[in-house]
A and B are shown apart, each in its own frame.
Chain A
């Protein structure tokens, strides 16, 4: 049991820091402090930060190894202390991997939504098989609950609504008009029991697509839009293929944390 008394090996208990080495470390630390200040006055661009951290780490290592004596200590204590930095590294890596790969988010009012990949249909006010497929998808997600799968205004939520949801097969009572641009406009403004879809569908492409799909539910051909009709809802066919995208008006923010902080600060 008392074998450690017989051995002459260097024990952690025995190590005494000499005055000379202590003084050397002190002077080295002071010199490195001066170096890091001088280095920070020089513009190395993006390298300033890593240089400062490197110098700080050299200083820290000197303190840990010599002043704290980890150089003369046993492996257990070395593993204990240095392992903490492994965990800090994992902490930094995983946090950065999350924060910097979240993609674009849109912040509007109290809403936070993943930026819709703008499909950018050419002349979205003119129907095409692609735009109809996209519109059907949105209709199924957003409209079926009130207007019903086939547009008879017989969705599950219809019973609770007054005025009743529009039956797209009925000719009478289109308060806002029945052409594509009028339906598109109604999606923006809402009507009766129907809310505005400006925030739910911030991309004008999405709203055009669902408009085109609604038109196919009705056997009666709708009136074609005139240029003036399109201009009324913010699209000028003469000016370009894409028209105005409402989504572009929404402030784009990279990270939702930003949003949370702004909310916290009451902005």
Chain B
């Protein structure tokens, strides 16, 4: 058995009484997270299925409407999210190694990337609100409506999909800040890093959704 002194944790984590040991607790929590992510895939899937169906039905209209999106913005956000996934993975492995400073640093970068993503998203949304390329009957770009009568439907999907994703990013920032504060207090180390690991799984999933959204909406829409 390893002695508590090998751990850099300055705050000792107590395994809940209904678990055999720390590993049992960790594996159970992680499995719960995977189950949550399974649910998340299904939660997002109706939007994807709906998008596939309507893209097939109104191929031309969706294509014309998708031209309104700025693929450079989408690409920048893709790079930002992939980089944040990398820093998140670094945060997890640093926590596992008991490197407190490095963990905090990696989490800080992840949070900064997440804010960067939201800034780009804000620029995109405000441009669309200005141009009137909005969902359903909020749509008021007469010229585009003439060229593509079903363009409002495309923007319904655009805002629903990227909006739901952005809500996940915002929620992620909250969790990351909480984890960052706990990491600073020295709560995590080789014996207990469950919250960092689970936050990592969640954050990678957010990246995963964007990996599909970017080509679907910005590139081949």
Contact = CB atoms under 8 A, between A and B. Distances in A.
Interface stretch (B6-14, B121-129, B167-175, B207-215): B207-215
A59 B152 CA distance: 30
B165 to A, nearest CB: 14
Interface stretch (A26-34, A173-181, A193-201): A26-34
B48 A88 contact: yes
B18 interface: no
A22 B93 contact: yes
B153 A63 contact: no
A80 B33 CA distance: 10
Taking residues whose C-beta sits less than 8 angstroms from the other chain, chain B's interface range is 35 or more
Contacts of B205: 68
Interface of A: 1, 4-5, 11-13, 16-19, 22-23, 25-26, 29-30, 33, 36-37, 40, 48-49, 52-53, 55-56, 59-60, 63-64, 66-68, 73-74, 76-77, 80-81, 83-85, 87-88, 91-92, 95-96, 99-100, 254-255, 257-258, 261, 265-266
* Chain A contact surface mostly: helix
Interface string B28-49: 0011001101110110011011
Interface of B: 1, 20, 23, 26-27, 30-31, 34-35, 37-39, 41-42, 45-46, 48-49, 52-53, 56-57, 71, 75, 78-79, 82-83, 85-86, 88-90, 92-93, 96-97, 136-137, 152-153, 200-201, 204-205, 207-208, 211-212, 214-216, 219-220
B131 to A, nearest CB: 20
Contacts of A68: 200-201, 204-205
